[in-house]
């Protein structure tokens, strides 16, 4: 067999990204592209930087854990592009870049000439990805968007939480994260299309749209029936048994995904004949309460470890609920590099969550710590623009950034 061809460069080697975005969705998109090898230059307000730099504790030195989570592999440049001189530098940087990720307020962007249409008129090959709460069209286009509010407004909280009681939000800012992933996908598609067309593109992404689109089968169930599905707690709307169950000494997630696994599961718990009572998944969904009650009564009879052994032998999907300590220490997570340690400029260790990308045939960028505010201003301006001076650090009243 011939050896697999390998390019020593990362996939996005030679692609330059200007990240003029803050908080989570835009920076998460930028980090995703950086993990794939793009040169991501993060533009930040002089003296303050990305809001998340101060979102703590916890902190590691001057960097918050929040900022550390979505800004690795980037360079930081302080630039006040509400000032004419800073804006001139911005345009010179864009002229040498492929992608702009921004979450400017649309009214401020238009006032400063930084709306996507104006940017593409001046930089016709640029890919502009605009991220906002509600998008650039519609009656809510000027409203700021925050993940918690988006989860509430777009139905996600209505389907999350216990069957009885108040709705819950997802434990992380999932609308922001998903929007960042949608943004990276659209950007990569636009990069590919630019090879054919020769021109740039404007991408308009809204947290609200991405939150609704990501509810997949549950949202589609409503579109199909016109009926809002009740909250299922830890259960699954369309698969049974697929839930969290108590054991004699803990908790166990059981995911019986098909009828064959159902028969195997019933055999594993010592009652193979029970499978014939509800032989198909539609039967089990229709009789959800009876099936889940039966499963719960059986799992309570012995320990979590015993059930793990039985279900593993039967090749039945299951899992123990873990905390972060056990999740990161797991040999599988260790083998996949999900526990990452890098060094800051002083040589001190910085523990990060690793990148999920594993790509054969291309090199991987050497991971770097999230940057200190403005750490790369001088070097980036010298490298790209032939200048050694830093931009005017004075903050002005007009702030084009915003959620």
Q: What is the pLDDT of residues 251-289, one digit of tens each?
A: 999 999 999 999 999 999 999 999 999 999 999 999 999
Report the number of distinct structural domains present in the chain. 2
pLDDT in tens, 159-210: 999 999 999 999 999 999 999 999 999 999 999 999 999 999 999 999 999 9
In a domain, 344, yes or no: yes
Are residues 201 and 83 part of one domain? yes
54 and 203 assigned to the same domain: yes
Neighbours of 368 (CB within 10 A): 16
Q: Which residue numbers are catalytic?
A: 176
76 and 136 both lie in a single domain:
yes
* pLDDT (tens digit per residue) in 285-340: 999 999 999 999 999 999 999 999 999 999 999 999 999 999 999 999 999 999 99
Instruction: For residues 67 and 369, give the distance between their C-alpha atoms in angstroms, rounded to a whole number.
Output: 11
Please state the φ and ψ torsions of residue 119, each to the nearest 5 degrees.
Answer: -65, -45
The residue with greater pLDDT, 233 or 392, is 233
pLDDT of residue 395: 45
One domain for residues 201 and 78: yes
Same domain, 312 and 336: no
In this structure, are 133 and 25 located in the same domain?
Answer: yes
Residue 151 inside a domain? The answer is yes
Distance CA 364, CA 356 (A): 12
CB atoms within 10 A of CB 173: 22
Claim to verify: residue 312 and residue 335 sit in the same structural domain: no
- 163 in the same domain as 95: yes
Q: What is the pLDDT of residue 276?
A: 98
Going by pLDDT thresholds of 50, 70 and 90, the confidence category of residue 388 is: low
Range of the domain at 281: 257-316
Closest listed residue to residue 15, CA positions, set 34, 38, 36: 38
The answer to whether residues 203 and 130 touch, using CB atoms and an 8 Å cutoff, is yes
d(CA 131, CA 135) in angstroms, rounded, equals 7
20 and 62 in a single domain? The answer is yes
Mean pLDDT, rounded, for 353-363: 95
Question: What count of residues does the chain have?
Answer: 403
Q: What CATH number did the domain enclosing 83 receive? A: 3.40.50.10540
pLDDT digits (tens, 9 = 90+) for 66-85: 999 999 999 999 999 889 99
Indicate whether 33 and 102 sit together in one domain: yes
Residue 58 lies inside a defined structural domain of this protein: yes
């Amino acid at each position: 067999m011939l050896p697999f061809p390998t390019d020593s460069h990362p996939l996005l080697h030679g692609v330059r990204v200007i990240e003029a975005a803050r908080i989570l969705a835009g920076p998460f998109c930028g980090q995703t592209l950086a993990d794939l090898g793009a040169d991501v230059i993060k533009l930040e307000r002089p003296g303050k930087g990305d809001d998340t730099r101060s979102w703590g504790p916890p902190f590691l030195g001057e960097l918050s854990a929040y900022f550390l989570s979505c800004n690795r592999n980037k360079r930081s440049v302080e630039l006040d592009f509400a000032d004419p001189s800073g804006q001139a530098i911005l345009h010179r940087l864009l002229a040498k870049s492929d992608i702009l990720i921004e979450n400017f307020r649309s009214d401020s962007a238009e006032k400063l000439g930084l709306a996507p249409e104006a940017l593409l008129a001046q930089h016709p090959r640029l890919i502009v990805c605009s991220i906002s709460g509600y998008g650039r069209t519609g009656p809510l286009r000027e409203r700021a968007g925050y993940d918690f509010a988006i989860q509430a407004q777009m139905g996600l909280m209505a389907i999350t939480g216990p069957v009885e009681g108040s709705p819950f939000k997802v434990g992380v800012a999932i609308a922001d994260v998903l929007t960042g992933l949608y943004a990276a996908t659209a950007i990569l598609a636009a990069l590919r299309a630019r090879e054919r067309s020769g021109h740039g593109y404007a991408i308009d992404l809204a947290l609200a749209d991405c939150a609704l689109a990501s509810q997949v089968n549950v949202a589609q169930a409503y579109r199909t029936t016109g009926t809002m599905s009740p909250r299922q707690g830890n259960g699954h709307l369309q698969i049974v048994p697929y839930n969290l169950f108590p054991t004699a000494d803990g908790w166990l997630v059981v995911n019986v995904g098909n009828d064959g696994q159902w028969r195997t599961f019933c055999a594993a718990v010592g009652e193979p004949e029970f499978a014939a009572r509800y032989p198909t998944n539609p039967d089990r969904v229709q009789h959800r309460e009876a099936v889940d009650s039966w499963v719960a009564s059986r799992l309570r009879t012995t320990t979590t470890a015993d059930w793990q052994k039985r279900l593993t032998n039967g090749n039945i999907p299951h899992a123990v609920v873990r905390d972060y300590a056990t999740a990161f220490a797991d040999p599988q997570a260790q083998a996949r590099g999900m526990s990452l340690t890098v060094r800051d400029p002083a040589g001190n260790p910085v523990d990060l969550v690793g990148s999920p990308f594993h790509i054969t045939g291309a090199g991987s960028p050497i991971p770097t710590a999230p940057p200190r505010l403005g750490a790369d201003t001088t070097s980036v301006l010298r490298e790209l623009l032939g200048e050694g001076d830093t931009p005017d650090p004075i903050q002005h009243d007009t702030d084009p950034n915003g959620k």
